[in-house]
Structure 1
Amino acid sequence: MSADADSQVIFIPRAERHKKKKRKRSYLFVLLLVIVFVVVVVLSRTMTIDQTNQTNSFLATNLEGSTKMIIQKQANGLEKRFQVKEDQKESNKEEEQETVEKDENEDIHSAVTSDEVNEAEEVVESSEKNEQMEAITADFVLEHKVKKQETLFSITMLYYASGEYQKKVQAYNGITNPEREIMEGITLQIPDPHYMVVHKVDRGESLLSISKKYYGTEDYAGSLAQYNEIKNPNHLPYDTLLHIPNPSSLQRNVPIFQSSPEKPSYRIVINKKSNQLTVYDGNSPIKSFAVGTGKDVSKTPEGEFKIINKIEKPWYRAQEIPGGDPNNPLGSHWLGLNVPGTDGTIYGIHGTNDPSTIGKYVSLGCIRMNNSDVEWLYNNLPLGTSVRIINK
Structure 2
Amino acid sequence: MSGDPDSQVTFIPRAERHKKIKKKKKRKRSYYLFVSLLVMVFTIILILSRTMIFDQTNQNGSFLAANLEDSTKTMIQKHTNNLDKRFQVKETEKEANEEEQKTDENADPPIESHEENEAQEEVESTENIEQTNTLTADFVLEHKVKKGETLYSITMLYYASGKYQKEVEAYNGITDPETEIMEGMILQIPDPHYKVVHKVNEGESLLSISQKYYGTEDYAGSLAQYNDIKNPNHLPYDTRIHIPNPSSLKKNVPITPSSSEKPTYKIVISKKSNQLTVYDGDRPVKSFSVGTGKDESKTPEGEFKIINKLEEPWYRAQDIPGGDPTNPLGSHWLGLSVPGTDGTTYGIHGTNDPSTIGKYVSLGCIRMNNSDVKWLYQNIPLETSVHITNQ
* TM-score of the aligned structures, taking structure 2 as reference length: 0.44
